[in-house]
Structure 1
Amino acid sequence: MSSPRDFDFLHGEWKVVNRRLTDFLRPDSGWEEFEGANRCRPLFDGAANVDEIDMPRLGSKGLTLRLFDRETEQWSLHWSSSRSGKLFPPVRGRFEGDRGEFYGDDTHDGKEVRVRYVWSVFTGTGARWEQAFSVDDGETWVTNWTMDFTRPASATPGE
């Protein structure tokens, strides 16, 4: 069951290795890899948080606002990019153990897509985020972006 403390693992500073497809809808388009830095801070006693990821190679930053709905016991994750300054439609879902799955609807390159985020928590050592798109309402998925989070040597969790 999900709780307002599910994202406590993410608080603080992280080094992030990004891997993404050059075309988010074509699994054979090839992968690019680049580093980033992330900082997450808790709000509402853990029932919300905001983080910013700096991706110098892309010349942009991203921001995520996460909110826990106590009534539904689900999280909503809201993403924005410094490139557009727009808030993308949220994905919603929950954690079961050390894995969280979140789903929503969006468009990419003019096509309607179903979006899935998966968070995997590796106790004390890091975390992994994956994004996948589906153009057939979830029958098949193309994982198109992954982020592997590790703590920098100078950081402590929750900093």
Structure 2
Amino acid sequence: MNYHPTDFAAPTGAVHDFDFLHGDWIVSNRRLKRRFAGCEDWDEFEASFRCEPRLGGGANIDEMQAPDRGFSGMSLRLFDLAARRWAIYWVSSQQGTLFPPVQGGFIGDHGVFVGRDVDGGQPVNVQFFWTRLGPDAARWSQAFSRDGIVWETNWIMNFRRKA
């Protein structure tokens, strides 16, 4: 399910779309070692993750810690009540700045979020995909495209709830 960010075909959402993510998780990461290079080598690592609701569920904040890779990251998700869309902002300890947001929502257990960013000095279209896999599992993936036609998935995260 790929969406072209300029069409903004991503679904709208609801204020409690991310309630499933609240709590503590272990995340198995697969991150492509080089993007837009035909690379098939993945860096695989585990991270801890904690998500907490804010503003009555209309916002949430999470932190992922990957000490074996020397970084941590944080997401801020905000729900726009008028537009009925989530905006997801990411910041990494490696840069210390907010990345441009992706926006979208869920249809059933599948969330699609689209936006634009810069990667390696080149503008890219960005897609985030969230899949709820029951109360104790979830999956997130990220794909980039330079032309909006050919997409490369470059990061996959499989979440399992901490016992």
> Please, what TM-score do these two structures have when normalized by structure 1?
0.92
Cα distance in 2, alignment partners of residues 97 and 31 from structure 1 = 30
1:14 aligns with 2:14: no
C-alpha distance 146-15 of structure 1, shift in aligned 2 (>3 A) = same
Matches within 5 A, 1:63-82: 63-82=74-93
TM-superposed CA distance for 1:120, in Å, is 0.4
The Cα RMSD (Å) is 1.0
Q: Which runs of 5+ in 2 are unaligned?
A: 1-11
Q: Which runs of 5+ in 1 are unaligned?
A: 154-159
1:55 aligns with 2:66: yes
1:106 aligns with 2:125: no
1:148 aligns with 2:158: yes
**Is the partner of 1:101 in helix, strand or coil?**
strand
Contact kept? 2:33, 2:39, Cα under 8 Å: no
Deviations 1:8-34 (A, max 9, x none): 000000000000100122342411100
Cα distance in 2, alignment partners of residues 127 and 27 from structure 1 = 27
- Report the more deviating stretch, 57-66 or 19-28: 19-28
Could you tell me which amino acid in structure 1 is paired with residue 125 of structure 2? R
Cα distance in 2, alignment partners of residues 124 and 100 from structure 1 = 16
C-alpha distance 99-49 of structure 1, shift in aligned 2 (>3 A) = same
Contact kept? 1:27, 1:144, Cα under 8 Å: no
- Report the more deviating stretch, 62-71 or 24-33: 24-33
How many residues align? The count is 152
Cα distance in 1, alignment partners of residues 89 and 104 from structure 2 = 12
2:149 paired residue number:
139
Runs of 4+ in 1 over 4 A off after TM superposition: none
**Is the partner of 1:6 in helix, strand or coil?**
coil
**Is the partner of 1:24 in helix, strand or coil?**
coil
Could you tell me which amino acid in structure 1 is paired with residue 16 of structure 2? R
